[in-house]
Amino acid sequence: MCLRRNVPPRRDQRDVAASGRRRVAHLLAGLGLMWASGHGPAAAAVRVPVILAFGDSLTAGLGLPQNEAFPAQLQARLAALGVTARVVNAGISGDTTADGRARLDWALADKPDLVILELGANDMLRGIDPQLTRGNLAAMIAEIRKSGAKVLLAGMKAAPNWGARYQKSFDRIYPELAQEDHVALYPFFLDGVAMDPALNQADGLHPTAKGVAVVADRIAPYVVRLIGGRP
C-alpha cells in the first residue's frame, strides 16, 4: 500500500487562484456598491422630471383642496398622457411679481427641470406700473435659466378697470418678454375659463375644480413638449 504525500500546488498555480479570488471579490464588492447606490440592474430608475408651478393663488388653488389645485391636476393630466412627472406647488396667494422675485431663489432649491412662471395677476389688480411687472418677470426668467431649468411663461391679461392705456401696456408684457428672452409662452393662463360663471368660484376670479381642469388640459401639451415627454 502506497501512501501519497500531500504535494502543495506550484507557486504559479497558487498565484492564479489568488488572483481569481481577488477578481471575484472586487466584482462582488462593485455589485454591492451599485445596489446600495441605486445603480444596479434591478434598482436602476429613470429620473422623474420635476416641474415647479411658481405663482399666486391661481397656482396655489385658493378655495380648493390641494388635490384639485392646478399642480395636482396638471400632474394627473400628464399621467393620463403617459408622461410621468412631479409637479411642485409653489403658489402663494396674493403674491405679486415682486413677492415672487424675492422668494424665487428658495423655490429653485428643488432643482426643477421646468418652471411654469405664473405671476402678474395681482400686479394688474393693484394697478402696479406694467414696467415694474415686466422688470420683475424678466429678472425671474434670467434666474430660472441660470439654474438650468426651462421656463414656460404663463401669460395674463388685464381687466379694463384701469383704462385702455394700462390694459394695452400690461397685455403686451408677456408676448414681448417671450420673444425677447426666447422662452416658451402659454398666452393666457385662464384661457377658456375667465368670465365663465360655470367655471369660476363666487368671486369671479378663481377657477373651480372644473375650471382648473380646463387650464391643466390646455397647458399640458406645452409642458409635455418642454420636458421632452413626446414630440
Catalytically active residues are 57, 203, 206
Q: Which residue is it, cell 403658489?
A: 91
Give 88's strand partners.
52
C-alpha span between 185 and 13 (Å, rounded): 71
Give the C-alpha separation, 79 to 97, whole Å.
30
Chain centroid to CA 60: how far?
14
Question: Exposed, middle or buried by CB within 10 Å (0-12, 13-18, 19+), for 25?
Answer: exposed
Residue 224 and residue 113 in contact, taking contact as beta carbons nearer than 8 Å: no
CB atoms near residue 136 (< 10 Å):
22
Q: Which residue has the cell 403617459?
A: 82
Coil, strand or helix: which one is 146?
helix
Dihedrals phi, psi of 206, to nearest 5 degrees: -110, 130
